[in-house]
Amino acid sequence: MALTLKLNGETHTVDAEPGTPLLWVIRDELKLTGTKFGCGVASCGACTVHLNGEPVRSCQTYIEDVEDAEITTIEAVGQDKIGAAVQQAWVELDVVQCGYCQSGQVMSAVGLLSENPKPSVEEIDSYMHGNACRCATYQRIRAGIQRASEILEA
Amino acid sequence: MTINTSRRGFLKGAAAAGAVLLVGARPDGALAAASSEATQFNPFVKIDADGTVTAIVKHFEKGQGPATGLPTLIAEEIGLRMDQIEYGFAPSDPNVYNNLFFGPFQGTGGSTAMANSWLQYRQAGAAAREMLINAAAQSWGVDASGIAIEEGIVKAGDKSAPIAEFVAAAAQLDAPAEPRLKDPSEFRLIGNDSVRRKDSAIKGNGQAIYGMDLHLPNQMVAMIKRPESRGGIANGFDDSASKEVKGFISAAVLPNKAGVAVFAENTWAAIQARDALEVDWDMSDAETRNSDEIKAEIMAALDAEPTYNVNKADVAAVSAAIDEADKVIEKTFYFPLLAHAPMEPLNCTIEQTADGTIVLHDGAQMPTGPHMAYQQIFELPPEKIQIKTMLAGGSFGRRATPDADYQVEAALAFAVTDRSRPVKLVWTREDDIRSGYYRPAFGHKVRVGLDADGNIVGWQHQIAGQSVIKGTPFEAVLVHDGVDHSSVEGVADSPYAIPGMAVGLTDTPKATTVLWWRSVGHTHTAYTMETMMDVVAKAAGRDPVEFRLAHLSDPDNPDQARKAAVLRLAAEKAGWGNVPEGRSLGVAVHKSFGSYAAEVVEISGDPDSGIKIEKVTCAIDCGIAVNPDIVRAQMEGGIGYGIGHVMRDQITLTSGAVDQFNFPDYEPLRIGDIAAIDVHIVPSAEAPTGVGEPGTPPSAPALANAIKAMSGMHVAVLPMDENGITFV
């Protein structure tokens, strides 16, 4: 069935059945592949997108529930100053290794800094707990969030 | 395995291969490209008319850094800034892009990407530099010895011009037989801590394209319904429910009957259609055992006479010495099956071009494997098969199956179609956890005798588990006198001076599909050696660091000296001997993949209410650290990978079927699990050795030794949570 999505500031009409995870519409229909498939059960965070500015796992978000929402993916999050700061910090610190989880890490980090501009280490660890990184880049993710916080403060 | 370090041999080969490439590309066979085209100077260096240099990277990028490291070698030798060099992945060609440590086989593994490329890529860059300089010398009428290239600018006295001006002329020249390599004192990029990764920006903004992200026009997505237990055979299926799924195309039993391929228009349709498929399985030859039975088999093997006397020891004499010792310490260890679980689930895409060429798009760790397999499956000559290497979302060994498992699966699925549409094979996380290849389960039994003064008089070490290498094409190289070296590495070749050492090995029967897993045998051998060293040190009344150093004290043995140096450095940086109140330290040191790593783990809390890993201090000697920050990153990652799994992960079987299904019950390391990692690199003038794996082996035993220092509990059966230990 035809559904209308507001994604990255544009309106898209997509053909998808109810019950289809937003993840697969973003990746296979809209061909925006920065949002990753990692586990399909909301256990790794690689598929994180923003729904009205709040991070959600798109693998467990169903297409019929997001018709009225503003969806933002990794491809557009850098247009916002918090997203740009996080991406700048990620490059400065070379946070990534394989990089496959990092879209989700960045989306969650932006979510954190949006509600808490200067998070403590404990707050970072708590907020980012659901974003797995098999390369174990966690130390740099933590430092990257702190660095982005500095950039935003400056 | 031989390492071709002959410069003359390399460059002759390189020049010839370059010429072949150009002849293949241009009907006139001219070596010089037209000014609008890129010029291939040799297999590893391509330069555009505008002066953009591209490094052709023969190793795949799974995060370990070759897409930065190999271009660094070329940029260094030519005289470029890092922003003046791009990278591209090499095509599959084992005669040109082989791993020099693997023979005529192109592949990444064993932490060898930098080690085997170190001279090769520098020579390639140096050859290009000399050709550019010689072209400038002819153009300017000056002697080549007075010309240099700095930051992409060719300079001689008051003359200067960008390299772009000399690309066409340089390509007309013969490759020099023996280009001069820069002296380390001239290095500006190698060892420079400010050189950043080349793939950071695209991986932080969603632009990086992995195999999973490929959308070829008109492609189908294929998923395979596999049996619950290894060895099941698909007799047939009922796809009537699958047909209700919008986007479902068809289903077909794979030619080898190992499963049923489900084809769909997109990934979600494939997932649903496969769930709905009913398969008629013949499970008569399937694995039926529980992992407890497999474990019992391994433990029984430890008590029997080992099949192999690995180090040709006088076992009777060693055993007698231990029997007569003042103190005897005996410990038995068990290591469970482990999944690799790279972040990107396995996938690859296969298509056939109009001229019948088969093209595989894959985060290909060992291109020669699927290349050879495809020649057989499609009955095609090697030149009719192309492999396009894409970014890979991790591997940890999983993408390096000697039997090219998932690429073969894709080929079999493609073969049952009419080949008019590209087929993208996608694994889910459940496929990865349940149908994968695993770090084999292993057992160790160690008996150590000490004399009255606390000196080791005998160390009898039995190892049992399923061989990773036997039955693979690597057997001829890596199995000697029946011994799979990967089962005993880290024990049989330990640099420690241990008197009266006897190492025995028994291969246990096939329990599941097994595979090298980041650091291979060292995953269990380092744990055993290094926790035993702590137990023995305590029995001898000695400090664990001092006791280890006493067994690494031969001044004429560089292996011992380098191992001792990292141990001293890690101990010093971690504040060994000066433990803060409420904290406990554990240490381990291990050589693997030519590198030496020592780690100290600092913990707080207690095993019952929860242990907190406060800090891991690491010292690494990997020879010259080409990119120090990537070396640190690999240590951080290797430590996390090692510790994450021993805390709480294992794969278990019930009636042959894997019990775990996804990350909720194969819990990855999380951000809060390790509070800090502090890496120190030992300065070195030695050639680079491995960094992808060596950080992993010492991490788990260092944690175990910290737990023992805290509580007295020696954890010998993994994972740690099986022993009632909790972490916070």
Residue B23 has pLDDT above 70, yes or no: no
Locate the DSSP E strands across B133-246: 148-150, 153-156, 159-162, 220-225, 233-238
Same domain, B25 and B122: yes
Cα distance between residue B369 and residue B15, in whole Å = 26
Residue in B197, B392, B671 nearest the CB of A129:
B671
Same domain, B505 and B476: yes
Residue B715 located in a structural domain: yes
CB–CB contact B671 A125 (8 Å)? yes
Q: What is the per-residue pLDDT across B187-216, written as a single tens digit (0 to 9) for each?
A: 999 999 999 999 999 999 999 999 999 999
| Residue B520 DSSP SS3 | coil
CB–CB contact A43 B663 (8 Å)? yes
| Residue A107 sits at the chain B interface (C-beta within 8 Å) | no
| Residue B693 DSSP SS3 | coil
Residue B28 has pLDDT above 80, yes or no: no
Same domain, B333 and B355: no
Cα distance between residue A60 and residue A43, in whole Å = 10
| CATH 1.10.150.120 residue window(s) in chain A | 78-153
Of B191, B197, B200, B199, nearest to B627 by C-alpha is B191
Q: Give the pairing type, strands B53-57 and B85-89.
A: parallel
A126 contacts on B by Cβ (under 8 Å): 672
Residue B132: both structure tokens together: 């550019």
Residue B39 confidence (pLDDT): 82
Residue B342: both structure tokens together: 């790279």
Mean pLDDT of the B267-291 span: 96
Residue B532 located in a structural domain: yes
| Residue B449 DSSP SS3 | strand
Q: What is the per-residue pLDDT across B180-192, written as a single tens digit (0 to 9) for each?
A: 999 999 999 999 9
Residue B10 confidence (pLDDT): 37
Where residue B41 falls among pLDDT bands split at 50, 70, 90? Answer: confident
| CATH 3.10.20.30 residue window(s) in chain A | 2-76
Q: What is the per-residue pLDDT across B122-163, written as a single tens digit (0 to 9) for each?
A: 999 999 999 999 999 999 999 999 999 999 999 999 999 999
Residue B13 has pLDDT above 80, yes or no: no
Q: Could you give the count of Cα atoms lying within 13 Å of A59 in the half-sphere of its Cβ?
A: 19
CB–CB contact B200 A95 (8 Å)? yes
Residue B2 confidence (pLDDT): 33
Residues in a beta bridge with B438 = B339, B514
B62 contacts on A by Cβ (under 8 Å): 97-98
Residue B27 has pLDDT above 80, yes or no: no
Residue B291 located in a structural domain: no
ipTM associated with this complex: 0.98
Residue B33 confidence (pLDDT): 32
Q: What is the per-residue pLDDT across B92-125, written as a single tens digit (0 to 9) for each?
A: 999 999 999 999 999 999 999 999 999 999 999 9
Orientation angle between helical segments A102-115 and A81-92, nearest 10 degrees: 130
Where residue B473 falls among pLDDT bands split at 50, 70, 90? Answer: confident
Same domain, B312 and B278: no
Percent of chain A with pLDDT over 70: 100
Mean pLDDT of the B206-229 span: 98
Same domain, B519 and B560: yes
Residue B419 has pLDDT above 70, yes or no: yes
Same domain, B184 and B80: yes
CB–CB contact A40 B637 (8 Å)? no
Of B440, B600, B453, nearest to B520 by C-alpha is B440
Contact B129, B77 (CB under 8 A): yes
| Residue A43 sits at the chain B interface (C-beta within 8 Å) | yes
| Residue A63 sits at the chain B interface (C-beta within 8 Å) | no
Cα distance between residue B89 and residue B104, in whole Å = 18
Residue A12 confidence (pLDDT): 96
Residue B221 located in a structural domain: yes
Residue B5 confidence (pLDDT): 35
Same domain, B324 and B352: no
Residue B1 located in a structural domain: no
Same domain, B618 and B538: yes
Residue B299 located in a structural domain: no
Residue B432 located in a structural domain: no
- Domain membership of residue B654 as a residue range: 305-338+438-723
Residue B403: both structure tokens together: 């039997």
Residue B600 has pLDDT above 50, yes or no: yes
Residue in B204, B266, B669 nearest the CB of A90:
B204
Class level of CATH domain A2-76: alpha beta
Q: Output B588 or B42, whichever has higher pLDDT.
A: B588
Residue B268 confidence (pLDDT): 98
Task: Choose, out of A48, A92, A139, A151, the residue to mutate when testing the contact with B (most B CBs < 10 Å).
Answer: A139
| Residue A78 sits at the chain B interface (C-beta within 8 Å) | yes
Residue in A43, A121, A133 nearest the CB of B662:
A43
**Exposed, middle or buried by CB within 10 Å (0-12, 13-18, 19+), for A16?**
buried
Cα distance between residue B421 and residue B265, in whole Å = 11
Residue B9 confidence (pLDDT): 37
Q: What is the per-residue pLDDT across B522-543, written as a single tens digit (0 to 9) for each?
A: 999 999 999 999 999 999 999 9
Q: Give the pairing type, strands B148-150 and B85-89.
A: unpaired
Low-confidence residues of chain A: pLDDT under 50: none
Residue B303 confidence (pLDDT): 96
Percent of chain B with pLDDT over 90: 91
| Residue B126 DSSP SS3 | helix
Q: What is the per-residue pLDDT across B680-727, written as a single tens digit (0 to 9) for each?
A: 999 999 999 999 999 999 999 999 999 999 999 999 999 999 999 999
Residue B654 confidence (pLDDT): 96
CB–CB contact A96 B268 (8 Å)? no
Residue B18 has pLDDT above 60, yes or no: no
Contact B382, B360 (CB under 8 A): no
Same domain, B606 and B669: yes
Class level of CATH domain A78-153: mainly alpha
Locate the DSSP E strands across A2-153: 2-7, 10-15, 48-51, 54-57, 70-72
For chain A positions 108-147, those within 8 Å of chain B (CB to CB) are 121, 124-126, 128-129, 131-142
Cβ atoms within 10 A of the Cβ of B169, count? 16
Residue in B200, B268, B675 nearest the CB of A21:
B268
Of B323, B386, B395, B398, nearest to B359 by C-alpha is B386
Same domain, B315 and B223: no
Where residue B436 falls among pLDDT bands split at 50, 70, 90? Answer: confident
Same domain, B442 and B422: no
Same domain, B565 and B624: yes
Residue A108 confidence (pLDDT): 98
Shortest CA distance from B272: residue in chain A: A20
Residue B294 located in a structural domain: no
